[in-house]
Amino acid sequence: MATGALKSAFVAGYTGATGRELVKELAKSEKFDRVVLIGRRKVEYEDENLQKLEQKIVDFDNLADYKDVFAGYDVGFCCLGTTRREAGSAKKFRQIDYDYVHELATYAKDGGVKHFHYVSSAGANKNSSILYGRVKREI
């Protein structure tokens, strides 16, 4: 990324382990003057740096209604993900880890986001017999 002008960014999936760490780093970064957290629920932060971040709540089951939320940033970060156990079924897991990610990435691209970063998984393999690794690679 070029130095100079400050950048804007969004983070989708900021409540999981990876997303939480990314948000901490972005809040400290001097490269971004605006960081927006996009998720399904609001999080109350104790850290003052994190309290300053804007949060936008979306319904991922109706993401098309929120496509403008993903527009107009320089950078998008996607840390969405779950496990089959947490999702409750293979179908719901795929919906979260594939459908939601693909849909929001499309809205970000259509909305002019210049750089999009997706956190997948080590061992992702589209030919895997394990659902988790296969879906993570398919996206």
Query: In this structure, are residues 34 and 94 in contact, taking their beta carbons and an 8 Å threshold?
Result: no
Q: How far apart are CA 15 and CA 112, in angstroms?
A: 25
Residues in the chain: 139
In three-state secondary structure terms, 114 is coil
Is 136 annotated as catalytic? yes
Query: In this structure, are residues 55 and 37 in contact, taking their beta carbons and an 8 Å threshold?
Result: yes
Of 14, 73, 107, 132, the active-site residue reads 132
Give 13's contacts (C-beta < 8 A, 6+ positions apart): 19, 39, 78, 79, 80, 81, 119
Of 7, 14, 100, 136, the active-site residue reads 136
Is 132 annotated as catalytic? yes
Residues with a catalytic annotation lie at 132, 136
